[in-house]
Structure 1
Amino acid sequence: MRNIALIVSYDGTDYYGFQSQPGGNTIQDKLEHAIFLLSGEQVKLTGSGRTDAGVHARWQVVNFMTSSSIPIERWALALNTRLPNDIVVQRAYGVPEEFHARRKALSKTYRYTINCNRTPDLFRRRYEFHHPTPLDFAAMQEGLKLLLGEHDFSSFTAPQSTKPSHVRTILDARLEVEAGSAAQAVSFHDEISRNWDERHYPGKQRGVIHLYITGTGFLYNMVRIIAGTLIQVGEGKRTSADMATILAARNRAKAGPTAMPHGLSLWEVVYDYQ
């Protein structure tokens, strides 16, 4: 028996999430079916983490045991010919028998993308949340910093969470403005529109921003609730310091709304070996 790991990217728009469920139509279902078509084996693969319906992945890692003799270098290409076009195996590699995609992960990074330009990007609307008014990027960045370290994130998880502990460690949290996106937003609008923004949204900016959050583990809806709360900080409805107050409250009702799923992507998973 061999233990094989796959690095998988997918557009989660049309799926009910990663993990297999009775209703089917999940990323796991499609991958397991493709493996069956290729090898004739019914496998149960393990993912590095679940993604909800509508959430995407740039770098999901899965592993499964197989007795197939198919050379490792053929797996990615062969599986891609048997998968829908919105799921792509980027790489297949052999891993030790004890490798477990979820338990062996050292860290995971999620990215949430917000487009603050006046109009949505037609070609990227599946992968970014459109917020038609400017946001205070600096305040959002300050709020993100307050999440660093080990905390009880009960305020930032859905009530449906079944985890016995809500203590998690955030290793890195940052905001990046996409190069050129703010300048492009200005060039597409006239002086009247710019003056309108300056009068009605002082201290706020337009452009496309990415929130990157890296941690050793995450709770159900945790990143989306953080994103929804930070949007309120960017709107001026909350202050940066409120993020610390919300953390200390350990009460979901104190945080902001759960941001829409399509702006979220599982960006990277890190292991000792890869």
Structure 2
Amino acid sequence: MRNIALTLMYDGTAYHGWQVQKRDVTVAETLEKALAHVVGHPVKCTGAGRTDAGVHAERYVANFRTTSSIPCDRIPLAVNTRLPGDIVVTKATQVPEDFNAIGSCQRKEYTYRIYNSRIRNAFLVNRVWFYPKHLDEEVMARAAQHFVGTHDFACVRSVGTETKTTVRTVHYFTITREGDMISCRVCADGFLYNMVRAMVGTCVYASEGKLSPDDIPGLLEGRNRTDAGPTAPPQGLYMTNLWYPVPNLP
């Protein structure tokens, strides 16, 4: 039995997130069906994390086990012929038996994109948060820096998946502008449900003057979700990088 790690990308617009669900079409379900045709037996994929409906991944990792002897370099070509165009497997790597796409992941990076213009862009529909009111990216960046470090992030967590602790370590949170596009890039050892989107919403609140960047340490200490900013919409969020202690993986 081989353990195979897949590197893939997907546009999440048409899917109800990564995780297999009873009624809704998901990325995992679609991938598992395509893989089953290729390897000749049912497949169960373990993903690097749950992404919500409408969230995208420029880089994502999932692993599955197979008795098939198909070479790894042939798996992407074979499975992509059975996948819709919005999901693409870019690489397959044989990994140790104990490798697990979520459990072995050391760090994750998400990028949230805001199209900050008075006029929307037709080619960015479902791929950014269109925000017509001008945002000050420097104020947002000052707010973002207060999230860096090891904190209790309960104030930017939505009710959802249960977790043992709401303490996480954010390695960096940068906010930059290029033309009308604002990119919010955040890396951590793990994320709570809607954590990135709530952090972005809080930085937007800071730009609008609804709170000060210097208020954020107090928000973190208070642990009250209603004190922080809103949860930004899902379509602007992308998983962009992952770190593993395995050669040849992202």
Which shifted more, 241-250 or 67-76?
241-250
Alignment partners' CA distance in 2, 1:177 and 1:136? 9
Q: CA deviation at 1:123?
A: 0.7
**Identity %, equivalent residues:** 42
> Which amino acid is the alignment partner of residue 58 of structure 2?
R
Matched residue count: 247
- Equivalent residue runs for 1:83-232 within 5 Å: 83-178=83-178, 181=179, 207-232=180-205
Q: TM-score normalized by structure 2?
A: 0.96
Match of 1:68 in 2: 68
- Structure 2 unaligned segments of length 5 or more: list them: none
Decide whether the 8 Å contact of 1:106 with 1:271 is kept in 2.
yes
- Range with greater deviation from structure 2 (37-46 or 261-270): 37-46
Deviations 1:130-189 (A, max 9, x none): 1101111111101111111110000010123411210011011101212xx1xxxxxxxx
Partner SS, residue 53 of structure 2? coil
Cα deviation digits, residues 175-213 of structure 1 (max 9, x gap): 1212xx1xxxxxxxxxxxxxxxxxxxxxxxxx2110001
User: 1:235 aligned to 2:233?
Assistant: no
Q: Does the aligned pair in 2 maintain the 1:4–1:63 contact within 8 Å?
A: yes
Displacement after TM superposition at 1:119 (Å): 1.0
For 2:139, what is the secondary structure of its paired residue?
Answer: helix
Q: 1:43 maps to what in 2?
A: 43
Higher mean displacement: 232-241 or 263-272 = 232-241
Amino acid at match of 2:203: L
Q: Residues 166 and 138 from structure 1, CA distance in 2 versus in 1: closer, same or farther, beyond 3 angstroms?
A: same
Between the aligned partners of 1:242 and 1:208, the Cα distance in structure 2 is 26
Equivalent-residue separation in structure 1 for 2:145 and 2:84 (angstroms):
39
Aligned-CA RMSD value: 0.9
CA contact (8 A) 1:149 1:169 kept: yes
**Alignment match of 1:255 (pick from 228, 233, 250):** 228
Which runs of 4 or more aligned residues in structure 1 lie more than 6 Å from their structure 2 counterparts after TM superposition? none
The equivalent residue for 1:200 is none
- Residues 1:19 and 2:15 aligned together: no
Q: Say which one has the larger Rg.
A: 1
Structure 2: how far apart are the matches of 1:136 and 1:210? 12
Aligned partner of residue 164 in structure 1, secondary structure: coil
Alignment match, 2:33: 33
TM-score (normalised: structure 1): 0.88
Counterpart secondary structure, 1:241: helix
Distance of 2:99 and 2:48 partners within structure 1: 11
One-letter code of the match for 1:124? L
- Structure 2 Cα separation of the partners of residues 91 and 122 of structure 1: 31
Q: Equivalents in 1 of 2:125, 2:182: separation in Å?
A: 14
> What per-residue deviation string (whole Å, max 9, x for no partner) do you get for residues 246-266 of structure 1?
111111111111110000011
CA distance in 2, matches of 1:53, 1:215: 21
Take 1:235 and 1:146, find their aligned partners in 2: how far apart are those partners?
A: 17
Segments of structure 1 that go 5 or more residues without pairing to the other structure are: 182-206
